[in-house]
Amino acid sequence: AQSVTQLDSHVSVSEGTPVLLRCNYSSSYSPSLFWYVQHPNKGLQLLLKYTSAATLVKGINGFEAEFKKSETSFHLTKPSAHMSDAAEYFCVRGGYQKVTFGTGTKLQVIP
Amino acid sequence: EAGVAQSPRYKIIEKRQSVAFWCNPISGHATLYWYQQILGQGPKLLIQFQNNGVVDDSQLPKDRFSAERLKGVDSTLKIQPAKLEDSAVYLCASSPSGTTHGYTFGSGTRLTVV
């Protein structure tokens, strides 16, 4: 089955420390993968996307993600967390396949 | 470019009443999606349109939910009659054909069924 798995439902980091949000996918085809962020009571905003070009993708607000086909992973990282990064993050598989959302990871940033 | 427009932003109705949501996608986007996001969960795809044709409605509760996209532009999602468990945020998204570009989401309609 085609799926997206976000390995952590909650991640807590201190302000200024690195962020790692994990996502694994399954796909029979070369997938298009996205990370979206949702702040409380706000809509979904696209952070970055992978569409079979460069495997290291840079997004907005200092986030980046690396597509690793051998590990079927697309983890989201940021070198230094900011208080404004506290939100829920969704890994999404799309492209020419059925759109599938991961279950989300809530990021807490501790001052 | 203008974003995806949705209305209303909020709606409170009693169970068994009907309700309709409206979405205007980004101009030129062929694909339109309706998602249901229940509090604490990720969005669930209800229906996907390609122009004015339905691509995927496998998770749409067709006994009470209906959606249309006349002329391949605006779309409406209707619930009739509503149940308490329909309380959620209903998100509309659009993308250019092929969806490798990502999806642009509207701000959503928060529905409360009492």
pLDDT value of position B96: 83
Whether residue B91 and residue A43 make contact (CB cut-off 8 A), yes or no, is yes
Average pLDDT, chain A: 90
Q: Which residues of A touch B (CB under 8 A)?
A: 32, 34, 36, 42-46, 49, 51, 90, 92, 94-96, 98-99, 101-104
Strands, DSSP E only, in A7-104? 10-14, 19-21, 23-26, 32-38, 44-50, 56-58, 64-68, 73-78, 87-94, 100-101
Digit-coded pLDDT (tens) for A9-40: 999 999 999 999 999 998 767 788 999 999 98
Closest CA to A33 of A52, A20, A19: A52
All residues of chain B having their beta carbon less than 8 Å from the beta carbon of residue A3 are none
pLDDT value of position B79: 98
Whether residue A90 and residue B43 make contact (CB cut-off 8 A), yes or no, is yes
All residues of chain B having their beta carbon less than 8 Å from the beta carbon of residue A42 are 107
pLDDT value of position A97: 58
Q: pLDDT tens digits for chain B (114 residues)?
A: 578 999 999 999 999 999 999 999 999 899 999 999 998 888 999 999 988 899 889 999 999 999 999 888 999 999 999 999 999 999 999 988 765 667 888 989 999 999
Closest CA to B92 of B40, B42, B30, B47: B47
Whether residue A32 and residue B100 make contact (CB cut-off 8 A), yes or no, is yes
Whether residue B108 and residue A49 make contact (CB cut-off 8 A), yes or no, is no
Question: HSE of B42 in the Cβ direction (CA atoms, 13 Å)?
Answer: 20
SS3 category, A19: strand
Give yes or no for residue A1 having a pLDDT over 60: no
pLDDT value of position A98: 67
pLDDT value of position A95: 63
Give yes or no for residue A75 having a pLDDT over 80: yes
What is the least distance, in Å, from the CA of A79 to any CA of chain B?
A: 24
Question: Please, which pLDDT band fits residue A53 given cuts at 50, 70 and 90?
Answer: confident
SS3 category, A22: coil
Q: Which residue of B has its CA nearest to A44?
A: B105
pLDDT value of position B101: 67
Tell me if the bond preceding A18 is cis, omega within 30° of 0: no
Q: Which residue would you say has higher pLDDT here, A30 or A49? A: A49
